[in-house]
């Protein structure tokens, strides 16, 4: 593992400054971001409640990703936007009397970003930040990129992101498997050498890739922030499951605040 590609054991302020200021940095790991008692409460009470009506994709979640709704057409978009405020509220209420980690992260990024931060809005309506994802046994994510910019101009967001990060707060971690793997490779660099995925940004063949630059096995309570414009994957969960509250942080150009979505 390339030690220059990861910063670990720091607080969110240090991690944010490093990710912005050091181009070679791919991942930041903040241990204990979610307190142990909150994680224990979540495993016993919140996860079963929130995931009761979950649906299966490459993971199980209580709501589909914003980009998946967009891919599925106008009816799916409208249904998603109608449901989004309720999904945000339900996660907040489920964590009571504790703070919802998604809300905590949102407020801290609002304080850290030079021009603040806010929920991404589409058609003047809020998008979810705070997807609960469960990587059950044998589930995995093949090497891929997460880049909202790939959906423009169709999304017509009138925003230009200079960087995007995946945000994962770990409520539960598997005994074996579920590692995050990251390669210092951009989508353009993969295109230049003629390597493509199953679709435009997902499903690159691991057999055609070198060893990852970073591999992390998450622990309960970890906040892991990954530069999602770099190739990354989640290894197959073997024993136990990997449950996170997840989303994205997009950093914009000019005097426009950062945006958050799932």
Beta-sheet strand order (sheet of 214-216): 141-144, 232-234, 180-182, 214-216
Question: Strand 180-182 and strand 214-216: pairing?
Answer: antiparallel
CATH number at residue 9: 2.60.120.620
pLDDT band at 153 (very low <50, low <70, confident <90, very high): low
* Domain membership of residue 123 as a residue range: 3-261
Q: Do 59 and 39 touch, CB atoms closer than 8 A? A: no
CA 133 to CA 39: how far, in whole Å?
14
Q: Do 45 and 97 touch, CB atoms closer than 8 A? A: no
pLDDT band at 97 (very low <50, low <70, confident <90, very high): very high
Q: Which residue has the tokens 């607080």?
A: 11
Q: How many domains does the chain have?
A: 1
**Mind listing the pLDDT tens digit for each residue in 21-43?**
999 999 999 999 999 999 999 99
The model's pTM is 0.95
Q: What is the mean predicted confidence (pLDDT) over 120-144?
A: 95
pLDDT band at 103 (very low <50, low <70, confident <90, very high): very high
More confident residue, 9 or 256: 9
The torsion of the CA quartet 92, 16, 178, 90, rounded to 10 degrees, works out to: 10
């Amino acid at each position: 593992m390339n030690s220059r590609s990861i910063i670990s054991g720091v607080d969110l302020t240090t991690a944010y400054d490093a990710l912005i200021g050091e181009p070679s940095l791919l991942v930041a790991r903040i241990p204990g971001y979610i307190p142990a008692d909150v994680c224990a409460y979540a495993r016993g009470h919140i996860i079963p409640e929130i995931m009761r009506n979950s649906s299966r994709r490459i993971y199980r979640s209580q709501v589909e990703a914003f980009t998946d709704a967009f891919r599925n057409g106008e009816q799916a978009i409208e249904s998603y936007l109608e449901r989004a405020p309720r999904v945000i509220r339900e996660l907040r209420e489920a964590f009571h009397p504790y703070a919802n980690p998604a809300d905590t992260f949102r407020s801290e990024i609002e304080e850290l970003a030079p021009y603040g931060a806010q929920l991404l809005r589409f058609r003047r309506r809020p998008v979810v930040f705070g997807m609960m994802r469960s990587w059950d046994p044998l589930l995995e994510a093949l090497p891929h990129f997460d880049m909202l910019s790939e959906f423009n101009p169709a999304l017509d967001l009138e925003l230009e992101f200079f960087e995007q990060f995946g945000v994962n707060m770990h409520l539960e971690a598997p005994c074996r498997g579920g590692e995050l793997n990251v390669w210092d490779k951009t989508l353009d660099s993969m295109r230049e050498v003629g390597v493509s995925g199953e679709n435009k940004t997902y499903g690159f063949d691991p057999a055609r890739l070198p060893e990852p630059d970073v591999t992390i096995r998450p622990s309960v309570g970890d906040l892991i922030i990954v530069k999602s414009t770099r190739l990354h994957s989640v290894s197959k969960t073997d024993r136990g499951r990997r449950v996170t509250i997840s989303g994205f942080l997009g950093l914009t150009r000019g005097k426009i605040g950062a945006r958050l979505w799932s």
